[in-house]
A and B are shown apart, each in its own frame.
Chain A
Amino acid sequence: MSQCLWCGNTYFPPLRWAKLFSFQEQRGFCGRCRSKLHRLEGPDLCAKCGRDLKQLPEAFVSGEVCTDCRKWQSTDDPLLWNRSLFSYNAFMREVMTRFKFRGDAILIEAFHDEWQALYKKYFKGCIPVPIPLSAERLAERHFNQAELLANCLPVPPAPLLIRPKHTEKQSKKSRSERLSSGENPFALSEDASMYTGKRFVIIDDIYTTGTTVRHAAHALSTLWPAAVYSMCLAR
């Protein structure tokens, strides 16, 4: 039996062939909490940002991609595509709040296996690059959620980016503010040059408008990367 990481109730994860004789207690969400998460998979995902096109009104779909991504495509977009595990619904918002702002870091264990599977499916061979926090924010939060996510991957992450200036939280800004903030908050770290010409996948917790990961992708573009993707827990 296991305890649900979210609601704390006892639940019974189903028996599996591979775990028939192991005593490791699975850590995860119980069936009821799990069912509130919306997993992004199947053929109806936006080819670029990976959101579920079926959940969007018709007006926001433009062929294989959503209209947001169509706009990005019209600019010089450094990001090839993004893939996420879950859609950013009300429940996911609660999960993120508890995970990030209240510091319940253990929550990511519930997504560990799927997170790894997602990496193996779309980004095999890419170097994970977590989005950094500024020194002030790190001191305040004590952990970098993107780094935790990157550490879950089977490949060791490369901390190529730094965030020299302390800026306001993205989550406190509106969409237009985020899109219009011209200045790139990210810079390359000193020893980044040895990664020239590689394929990268930027790791972050949430992809909302896609500005943050594109800033990061721009910062990486001086390395002449073969490809830059991003992988976020929620979209």
Chain B
Amino acid sequence: MQTAYDDIRRPTNTLWFSSARFGPALALQGFRYGHWWVLSAILAIALCDNPNVPTALAASGCILYLLWKNKPLFLTFTVIFILMVLDFHWQTVPTTLNSRQTDWIGRVSSIPEINGDRFVAYLRLGKNESVYAVYRIKSREEKQTLSRLTPGMICALRGTLTKPSAAGNFDAFDFRTYLRHKGIHWQLTVDQWATCHEGRISLMERIQQLRQRGIQTVDAKLAPPMSGLINALVFGNQSEMDGGLAEAYRNLGLIHLLAVSGLHVVVVIGLSHRLLIRVGMLKEHVQWLLFLIIIPLYAVLTGLSPSVVRASLMAEWLLFFRIARRAVPTVSALSFACLMQLAYDPGSLFDIGFELSYLITFAIIVSAPTVQKRVQNPLSKTFIITGIAQIAAFPIICYYFYSFSLLSFVLNLFYVPLISFVILPLAIVTVVLLILFPPCGLFVFGFLDMIMTPAHSLLLNCEHLLLFNLIIGRPGAWGLVGISLCAFGLLILWEKWSHPFSIFLPVAFYLVIGFCHVAAQWINPYGSVTFLDVGQGDSILIRFPHRQGAMLIDTGGSLPIKKADWQKRTDPFDVGSDVVSQQIKAMGISKIDWLVLTHRDWDHIGGLNGVIDHIRVANIVIGKAFQATNTEKKWFERAKNMRIHIVNVPAGAQWGTENLYVKVLWPKTAISDSNNGSLVLLAKMGGVHFLFTGDLEKEGEAGLLQQIPNLHVDVLKVGHHGSRTSSSEAFIQAIHPKLAIISVGKNNRFGHPHKEVLAVFKKYHIPILRTDRDGAVRIVFTSNRILQIKHAK
């Protein structure tokens, strides 16, 4: 007999009932509080990557306290946190490869990048483990052959696995960590390619091949540097971009334009939508076509960079609800995209492109209603949104690039519409025409070239206006928190304050940041001496406490090697601009007061141009024996044009006070031998005497001792990178330093440092730090003592 309560008692029914209610409730919570879910995922990944227990406890304590008021969110937050931790551990697998093995069979898993004589690709070896493969191409014919490698090919090759190089300098880009976040443990240095053949190709690889063919077509038919720009814009391939130009984009805060960005995806979707409707397709069909084919295809064709994935996932999400005729808040699309991307690849959290893309989009979405309410005309809207994007990106730009261009805002205002709405469509048309009907493509390309050539020369000129470059240095953890809170506060203030003057708030922001930065330097009682890792060569950066100036002794430099045209890279490495000036910026030094060139050897002054192009320099200091050849004379002429004084100092010259000084000891007279004519400096810092010897050899050392018999030295920069022509036993015995530092490159061809020299130091029990083995060495001092000696590796 059936009772009236039968329905209620049936357990399946109640379960169904509650889950039917629970599902939508959960989804609605995600729409409203999606950014909390993202926060949970980010926290989980950050903690798994670098477990820092006190910070973690503090952060989670704060968040859980906040969340306690909202129990359902508290629950989902915790669940997502746990899921993400599990996901991270599931995705991080230890290596299964044996580093002693030399013969490999690997599957090419990315489009190989060939730049000059350098070949780079990701390969899958063994049990599907990715490695980063590099190869130095030996001949032009081989370059031809290798350019036919495509994703999905299977190659037999011989090569050795090595650990990817860790950062040699402080706060510098760490390639090992970068690869680790991609789940890669090894770098494979290929010695020889055996055979390659096509394997079974997946759909994904097929699209990648299409992309590769496109890139190669552009390369073959168009001239650089525009070919590089087109490849960057259309295919998301930045590797062939001209080095100087890419640097200008980067330094002026326009680098996001070179990456295929979310805006590009929006433009492409918008254009194809309009085109298809115009052709006569039904709106519903267009939506389905975009949803299923065009957006995913475009994402893969442009190389699946984080910003493209973000924009595509967002577009898919919004389109899905459009098709289902449901309204969703835009911000939910962003949270969804972020959670998906992080779940698929937790390491992408550490990608600068990922961070910038999500942060800026979030800022714009949150600010959009206020902008909408406040201004109507599109020009002012662009103005305000550009400002918001700049503020949101500021902490990240500071962290990765150490500096911020004040021109960035103005240039963005101009270049964003230009690139996104004019150049990008033209570039796409060019590529399509190049493939279908080359002469027409070249015609459109002519237009592009006409617009972009003056635009690029403007950029290159702007880059040299160093005055507009706000150098902050890499902020520490608290600095980063401070800057972020400042930016957040500014946005809240801007939202509340509807007065027209509120558009000047960013100016106040930069003033506050700049003021805090300068004030912190005034207060900072610590100075430091950093022996930079510049490979084979010397470069020593000294920052005096209380903003009393900065000195750079030598600039490093790599020997120029004659290269054939096919060997030349589009972005050749230069120690001066890629390492030394970056390190100066990272320390927050905006001006070098004294740039000392000890002598004219290439490994000491080769980076000069790279440094003065990026950092303001007041004086270049040279010794009496500096023998300038024509090259150096030309450089000095250039420096003089940049209003840098060339100062010729005699022995005995001295700067500073009794407790903090730098004194020139050598050379007294012009000496014909370049090395022995090295400018030798004695500095007293933190109550300790440093001797910087340049490349002084035994004869010079003897002369120096004769001149000052009771020379007292605590820290010695070992002469001539530890060559046995320097550091005579008599000299070392006489001065007997407490610490010796050798600035030398790894596996250098001169065999520095020589074992005899090392033996001398060992004999006198003098500890040695070497830049090749220990990385950069930094000695931090206060007014009267040495605080800390640390090295980068």
Do A and B make up one complex? yes
Instruction: Give the contacting residue for A1; candidates B28, B69, B70, B494; CB below 8 A.
Output: B28
Q: Which of chain B's residues have a CB closer than 8 A to the CB of A15? A: 35, 329, 331, 365-366
Instruction: Give the contacting residue for B31; candidates A12, A16, A18, A21; CB below 8 A.
Output: A12
CB of A30, distance to nearest CB on chain B (Å): 9
> In the complex, which residue of chain B has the Cβ closest to the Cβ of A23?
B70
From known contacts A1-B28, A12-B31, A12-B32, infer whether A17 and B492 are also in contact, taking CB-CB under 8 Å: yes
CB of A149, distance to nearest CB on chain B (Å): 23
From known contacts A18-B492, A21-B66, infer whether A1 and B368 are also in contact, taking CB-CB under 8 Å: no
B366 touches A16 (CB 8 A): yes
**B190 at the binding interface (Cβ < 8 Å):** no
CB of B99, distance to nearest CB on chain A (Å): 48
> In the complex, which residue of chain A has the Cβ closest to the Cβ of B332?
A12
Docked CA distance A1–B27 (Å): 11
**B491 at the binding interface (Cβ < 8 Å):** yes
Q: Which of chain B's residues have a CB closer than 8 A to the CB of A20? A: 35, 366
Q: Which of chain A's residues have a CB closer than 8 A to the CB of B494? A: 17
Q: Mark B62-82, 1 if CB is under 8 A from A, else 0.
A: 000010011001000000000
Contact residues of B: prevailing secondary structure: helix
From known contacts A1-B31, A12-B31, A12-B32, infer whether A18 and B495 are also in contact, taking CB-CB under 8 Å: yes
Docked CA distance A16–B496 (Å): 10
**A10 at the binding interface (Cβ < 8 Å):** yes
From known contacts A16-B370, A18-B496, infer whether A23 and B69 are also in contact, taking CB-CB under 8 Å: yes
Docked CA distance A21–B62 (Å): 12
**B764 at the binding interface (Cβ < 8 Å):** no
Q: Mark B29-42, 1 if CB is under 8 A from A, else 0.
A: 10110010000000
A-B contact pairs, 12 of them (CB 8 A): A1-B32, A12-B31, A12-B327, A12-B332, A14-B329, A15-B365, A16-B370, A17-B366, A17-B488, A17-B492, A20-B366, A23-B70
Max chain A C-beta neighbours (<10 A), residue from B66, B366, B368, B494: B366
Max chain A C-beta neighbours (<10 A), residue from B28, B32, B491, B492: B32
**B728 at the binding interface (Cβ < 8 Å):** no
CB of B331, distance to nearest CB on chain A (Å): 5
Q: Sort A-B residue pairs by CB-CB distance and give the 6 closest, nearest first.
A: A12-B329, A14-B369, A23-B70, A17-B491, A17-B492, A1-B32
CB of B522, distance to nearest CB on chain A (Å): 32
Q: Mark B300-330, 1 if CB is under 8 A from A, else 0.
A: 0000000000000000000000000001110
Q: Which of chain A's residues have a CB closer than 8 A to the CB of B29? A: 1
Docked CA distance A17–B485 (Å): 12
Q: Which of chain A's residues have a CB closer than 8 A to the CB of B69? A: 23
Q: Which of chain A's residues have a CB closer than 8 A to the CB of B327? A: 11-12
**B783 at the binding interface (Cβ < 8 Å):** no
Q: Mark A1-38, 1 if CB is under 8 A from B, else 0.
A: 10000000011101111101101000000000000000
Docked CA distance A116–B470 (Å): 42
Docked CA distance A72–B35 (Å): 55
From known contacts A1-B28, A1-B32, A20-B35, infer whether A14 and B70 are also in contact, taking CB-CB under 8 Å: no
13 additional A-B pairs beyond A14-B366, A17-B366, A17-B488, beta carbons within 8 Å, are A1-B28, A1-B32, A10-B28, A12-B31, A12-B332, A14-B331, A14-B368, A15-B35, A15-B365, A16-B366, A17-B491, A18-B495, A20-B35
A contact residues, total (Cβ < 8 Å): 12
Q: Mark B357-373, 1 if CB is under 8 A from A, else 0.
A: 00000000111111000
Number of A-B pairs whose CB atoms are under 8 Å?
A: 42
Q: Which of chain B's residues have a CB closer than 8 A to the CB of A14? A: 329, 331, 366, 368-369
A23 touches B73 (CB 8 A): yes
> In the complex, which residue of chain A has the Cβ closest to the Cβ of B372?
A14
CB of A26, distance to nearest CB on chain B (Å): 10
> In the complex, which residue of chain A has the Cβ closest to the Cβ of B490?
A17
Docked CA distance A83–B496 (Å): 22
Q: Which of chain B's residues have a CB closer than 8 A to the CB of A11? A: 327
From known contacts A1-B28, A23-B73, infer whether A17 and B495 are also in contact, taking CB-CB under 8 Å: yes
Contact residues of A: prevailing secondary structure: loop
B contact residues, total (Cβ < 8 Å): 26
Max chain B C-beta neighbours (<10 A), residue from A1, A15, A20, A23: A15
Docked CA distance A219–B369 (Å): 44
Q: Which of chain A's residues have a CB closer than 8 A to the CB of B492? A: 17-18
Q: Which of chain B's residues have a CB closer than 8 A to the CB of A17? A: 366-367, 488, 491-492, 494-495
Docked CA distance A206–B369 (Å): 29
CB of B485, distance to nearest CB on chain A (Å): 12
Interface of chain A residues 36 through 85 with chain B (CB within 8 A): none
Q: Which of chain A's residues have a CB closer than 8 A to the CB of B367? A: 17
Q: Mark B485-503, 1 if CB is under 8 A from A, else 0.
A: 0001001101110000000
> In the complex, which residue of chain A has the Cβ closest to the Cβ of B370?
A16
Docked CA distance A1–B369 (Å): 16
Q: Mark B332-372, 1 if CB is under 8 A from A, else 0.
A: 10000000000000000000000000000000011111100
Q: Which of chain B's residues have a CB closer than 8 A to the CB of A18? A: 492, 495-496
Q: Which of chain B's residues have a CB closer than 8 A to the CB of A23? A: 69-70, 73
> In the complex, which residue of chain B has the Cβ closest to the Cβ of A9?
B327
CB of A29, distance to nearest CB on chain B (Å): 14
> In the complex, which residue of chain B has the Cβ closest to the Cβ of A31?
B327
CB of A1, distance to nearest CB on chain B (Å): 5
Q: Which of chain B's residues have a CB closer than 8 A to the CB of A21? A: 66
Docked CA distance A1–B329 (Å): 10
Docked CA distance A21–B77 (Å): 14
Docked CA distance A138–B366 (Å): 44
From known contacts A1-B28, A10-B28, infer whether A16 and B35 are also in contact, taking CB-CB under 8 Å: no
Q: Which of chain A's residues have a CB closer than 8 A to the CB of B370? A: 16
CB of A19, distance to nearest CB on chain B (Å): 10
CB of B523, distance to nearest CB on chain A (Å): 31
Q: Which of chain A's residues have a CB closer than 8 A to the CB of B35? A: 15, 20
CB of A44, distance to nearest CB on chain B (Å): 15
Docked CA distance A21–B70 (Å): 11
CB of B89, distance to nearest CB on chain A (Å): 29
Q: Which of chain A's residues have a CB closer than 8 A to the CB of B329? A: 12, 14-15
Interface of chain B residues 657 through 694 with chain A (CB within 8 A): none
CB of B265, distance to nearest CB on chain A (Å): 22
Docked CA distance A20–B32 (Å): 10
> In the complex, which residue of chain A has the Cβ closest to the Cβ of B73?
A23
Q: Which of chain A's residues have a CB closer than 8 A to the CB of B31? A: 1, 12
CB of B489, distance to nearest CB on chain A (Å): 9
CB of B73, distance to nearest CB on chain A (Å): 7
Q: Which of chain B's residues have a CB closer than 8 A to the CB of A1? A: 28-29, 31-32
CB of A124, distance to nearest CB on chain B (Å): 15
Interface of chain B residues 719 through 752 with chain A (CB within 8 A): none
Q: Mark B41-71, 1 if CB is under 8 A from A, else 0.
A: 0000000000000000000000000100110
B369 touches A16 (CB 8 A): yes
B495 touches A16 (CB 8 A): yes
Q: Which of chain A's residues have a CB closer than 8 A to the CB of B73? A: 23
Docked CA distance A18–B367 (Å): 11
Q: Which of chain B's residues have a CB closer than 8 A to the CB of A10? A: 28
CB of B555, distance to nearest CB on chain A (Å): 45
Docked CA distance A2–B223 (Å): 57
Docked CA distance A16–B488 (Å): 11
> In the complex, which residue of chain B has the Cβ closest to the Cβ of A12?
B329
> In the complex, which residue of chain B has the Cβ closest to the Cβ of A11?
B327
Q: Which of chain B's residues have a CB closer than 8 A to the CB of A16? A: 366, 369-370, 495
CB of B66, distance to nearest CB on chain A (Å): 6
Docked CA distance A79–B35 (Å): 50
CB of A114, distance to nearest CB on chain B (Å): 11
> In the complex, which residue of chain A has the Cβ closest to the Cβ of B368?
A14
CB of A71, distance to nearest CB on chain B (Å): 35
Max chain B C-beta neighbours (<10 A), residue from A1, A17, A23: A17
Docked CA distance A20–B495 (Å): 12
CB of A177, distance to nearest CB on chain B (Å): 41
CB of B512, distance to nearest CB on chain A (Å): 18
CB of A126, distance to nearest CB on chain B (Å): 21
Q: Mark A202-214, 1 if CB is under 8 A from B, else 0.
A: 0000000000000
> In the complex, which residue of chain A has the Cβ closest to the Cβ of B67?
A23
